[in-house]
């Protein structure tokens, strides 16, 4: 499995001289938030501060600082206030018609040449961020499972695909972790708090066992099962009568995953809808947990 941290380390090792381009401040509507960054070398970039003319200006200035700017680049600098020395530059850029962007806000961009110390700081920050990423467990590596794995691989999550069949794990995206096990339902019990579970195996009975395990937990961000209205009704009957489940627990189940507003059952479409649904649930769960912690702290202080 290849992670963002590994990609960052590889970029730093191969890029030669590098400049860090970071959003240092924002006012109004802007493409990215404060703290967003990208790395610029003579021939490549890593990350983004939002694209558009703002990013082009920042890349131009970074490459000037690296000593690699072709003649004519930096021509947009007159549209922004710039302070620069040998290792650091600050751009104060209005996001208006002057530069061809209509966000309407203003962005302060800090550009610094990356030395050994700053490179180590970037790697440490990336490792910390990666350790705090929410988990998405995808049970099943069939057509929809493969498509969903590809979709969530692009998101800021730690994706894990779990299967009972080794061949179904072949060809997964390199940023996705894979686990082969004869008892996938057992994986649910050891998953981190706040995990999102997407259940779409090749076996309905196995789906039921995994969903039942997930619904027993009260710290999940999302529990979704692929299927039809008939499958959901069959699961409900089994869960309440044979699995000691409750209506309260059952109410947390999302099925079919991705909703039923779009009547398109192609795997890629289901995966896109499910990925959006999962990400929305993860963000909502993170916000509610953060609010709960804040309220608990305030109560303790009070």
Q: 256 preceded by cis ω (within 30°)?
A: yes
- pTM score, whole prediction: 0.81
How far is residue 57's CA from residue 80's CA, in Å, rounded to a whole number? 9
The domains located in the chain, with CATH, are 14-129 (no CATH), 133-281 (3.40.50.720)
Give per-residue pLDDT as tens, 206-240: 999 999 999 999 999 999 999 999 999 999 999 99
- Residue 302 reports pLDDT greater than 50: no
For 58-116, write each residue's pLDDT tens digit.
999 999 999 844 433 443 444 555 454 567 899 988 887 767 666 778 899 999 999 99
- Bridge partners (DSSP) of residue 197 are 137, 223
What average pLDDT does range 240-246 have in this prediction?
95
Question: What's the pLDDT at 291?
Answer: 54
Task: Enumerate the β-bridge partners of residue 169.
Answer: none
pLDDT digits (tens, 9 = 90+) for 134-175: 999 999 999 999 999 999 999 999 999 999 999 999 999 999
How far apart CA 94 and CA 79 sit, in angstroms, is 8
Sheet holding 253-254, edge to edge: 177-180, 158-163, 135-139, 196-199, 222-225, 253-254
Classify the C-alpha dihedral 151-152-155-161 as positive or negative. Answer: negative
Which runs of E-coded beta strand occur in 181-250? Answer: 196-199, 222-225
- Region 251-261 average pLDDT: 94
SS3 assignment, position 183 = coil
- C-alpha span between 34 and 250 (Å, rounded): 40
Provide the 3-class DSSP secondary structure of residue 271: helix
CA distances from 37 to 57, 113, 168 (A): 14, 13, 37
* pLDDT recorded at residue 249: 97
H or E element that contains 219: none
pLDDT at 290: 58
DSSP type of residue 73: T
> CB 215: neighbour CB atoms within 10 A?
22
pLDDT at position 268 over 50: yes
Q: What is the pLDDT of residue 77?
A: 47
Judged against a pLDDT cut of 60, whether residue 12 lies above it is answered with yes
pLDDT for 69 = 43
pLDDT at res. 58:
94
pLDDT in tens, 28-65: 988 899 999 999 999 999 999 988 888 999 999 999 99
CA 275 to chain centre: 10
As a whole number of angstroms, the distance between CA 178 and CA 288 comes to: 29
* Both structure tokens of 31: 């493409």
Residue 113 backbone class (left: φ over 0; alpha: ψ -120 to 50; beta: rest)? beta
Task: Say which residue, 168 or 288, is predicted with more confidence.
Answer: 168
């Amino acid at each position: 499995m290849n992670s963002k941290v590994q990609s960052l380390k590889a970029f730093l090792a191969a890029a030669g001289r590098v400049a860090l381009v970071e959003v240092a401040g924002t006012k109004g509507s802007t493409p990215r938030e404060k703290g967003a960054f990208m790395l610029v070398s003579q021939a490549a970039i890593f990350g983004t501060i939002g694209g558009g003319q703002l990013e082009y200006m920042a890349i131009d200035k970074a490459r000037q600082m690296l000593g690699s700017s072709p003649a004519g680049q930096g021509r947009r600098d007159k549209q922004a206030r710039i302070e620069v020395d040998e290792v650091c530059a600050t751009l104060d850029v209005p996001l208006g018609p002057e530069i061809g962007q209509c966000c309407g806000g203003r962005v302060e961009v800090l550009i610094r040449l990356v030395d050994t110390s700053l490179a180590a700081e970037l790697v440490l920050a990336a490792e910390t961020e990666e350790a705090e990423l929410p988990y998405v467990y995808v049970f099943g590596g069939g057509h929809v499972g493969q498509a969903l794995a590809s979709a969530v691989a692009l998101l800021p999550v730690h994706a894990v695909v779990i299967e009972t069949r080794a061949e179904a794990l072949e060809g997964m995206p390199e940023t996705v972790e894979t686990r082969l096990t004869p008892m996938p339902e057992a994986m649910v019990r050891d998953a981190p708090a706040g995990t999102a579970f997407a259940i779409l195996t090749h076996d309905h009975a196995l789906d039921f066992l995994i969903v039942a395990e997930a619904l027993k937990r009260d710290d999940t961000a999302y529990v979704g099962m692929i299927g039809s209205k008939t499958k959901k009704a069959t699961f409900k009957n089994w869960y309440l009568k044979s699995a000691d489940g409750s209506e309260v627990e059952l109410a947390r189940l999302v099925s079919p995953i991705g909703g039923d507003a779009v009547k398109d059952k192609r795997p890629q479409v289901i995966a896109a809808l499910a990925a959006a649904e999962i990400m929305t649930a993860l963000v909502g769960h993170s916000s509610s947990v953060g609010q709960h912690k804040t309220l608990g702290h305030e109560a303790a202080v009070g």
